[in-house]
Structure 1
């Protein structure tokens, strides 16, 4: 009996598990400069929460008077608001309408350049960092989902999750599994089918 498309996708989840684990490790150690890694950014919930709160407040409640002048000057001269730091730097004019504006614009450019330099030039754009953080979060969610399904399966079908892990995660051969479980290849084939059916029933 052939599997449906939905059932095939569930099995593909198991097949892709090792690759996703490896990708999580690679992303977790990806440096964004200034001694920070993607995983550190993802784990910094307090910073993210603070950022969310600040975005909902009027700027005068968390910016100094000088920073408010910088913000006002930026709004006055910017005709667009690009997402990337380097794009933002390019969007800020070098000259203002008067000497005071010139100074404020130059300071704003210095501040943005300082952030770019602090990142060690490992990432060209903040958008790229956010994409990697989002990818890491998605992969962790997918891997945790598979682990959770296997944990639930273990509660009423003990042994099935271990068999699936040997097949899909540890890439063991049939002979290696047969030797480890001390069963025949026919029994292994039957157990594998049952384990896959039970897993699909939970995960699809």
Structure 2
């Protein structure tokens, strides 16, 4: 990570949080928001309960066939309804696999419907917002993790990064708040960025 990337990432922190706030309130119908849909993921809860059991103990023959098809085509098994739908290919190797893959997509849709959600017609837009929400939450969490790590051994550097870049305060206001001289502020700023780059890479 370069100095410019570090500065850009930290400077975007509040913008990321604002976008998360907007995405969280996006309605999918029936009073349900994207954030609730993302948090209330019954597929993941079911997976947690069943993952230690062999699939033949809880799946019928048709479901076992669907599971085999999923394993054949999927290279990852992400969390979140949007992410799950996104990794299911639109086409299989033949017409039979096409039908099975479509059935997998339909089953995920039915799980959503079974929760009592009146899902909007523009499902793709809802799913796109879910993926964006998850990615932004991950990015904010990474920034917080790096800053907290720095705070553990260089609290002045972490404070400088938050005041100057995250809060967007100019060097004069930031140095006054930190009660340090201009020279000290600029020395610390460079060192703080280096520390961030080391931790974040």
Show structure 1 runs of 5+ residues with no match: 62-74, 89-110
State the SS of the aligned residue for 1:148: helix
Q: Which residue of 2 aligns with 1:27?
A: 23
CA offsets per residue over residues 80-135 of structure 1, 9 Å max, x none? 959999xx9xxxxxxxxxxxxxxxxxxxxxx9xx99xx637xx4322221211111
Aligned length: 155
Q: Which residue of 1 aligns with 2:87?
A: none
Query: Distance between the aligned counterparts of 2:36 and 2:155, measured in 1?
Result: 36
Query: Distance between the aligned counterparts of 2:193 and 2:151, measured in 1?
Result: 13
What TM-score, normalized to structure 1?
A: 0.63
State the SS of the aligned residue for 2:155: coil
Q: Which residue of 2 aligns with 1:166?
A: 163
Could you list the structure 1 runs, at least 4 aligned residues long, displaced by more than 6 angstroms after superposition.
82-85
Query: Distance between the aligned counterparts of 1:83 and 1:46, measured in 2?
Result: 16
Change in CA separation of 1:185 and 1:169 when aligned onto 2, cut-off 3 Å:
same
State the SS of the aligned residue for 1:172: coil
Does the CA contact (< 8 Å) of 2:34 and 2:130 recur in 1? Answer: yes
Query: Distance between the aligned counterparts of 1:12 and 1:168, measured in 2?
Result: 9
Show structure 2 runs of 5+ residues with no match: 64-95
Following superposition of structure 1 onto structure 2, how do residues 88-127 of structure 1 map, counting pairs within 5 Å? 119=118, 123-127=120-124
CA offsets per residue over residues 125-182 of structure 1, 9 Å max, x none? 2222121111111111110011001111111112211110001111112221122122
Q: Compute the displacement of 1:29 (Å).
A: 0.9
> Does residue 198 in structure 1 map to residue 186 in structure 2?
no
1:16 to 12, 17, 20: 12
Say what the alpha-carbon RMSD is for the aligned residues. 3.5
Could you say which structure has the larger radius of gyration? Answer: 1
What TM-score, normalized to structure 2?
A: 0.63
1:183 to 173, 180, 185: 180
Q: Compute the displacement of 1:60 (Å).
A: 7.6
Following superposition of structure 1 onto structure 2, how do residues 78-93 of structure 1 map, counting pairs within 5 Å? 81=102
Q: Which residue of 1 aligns with 2:137?
A: 140
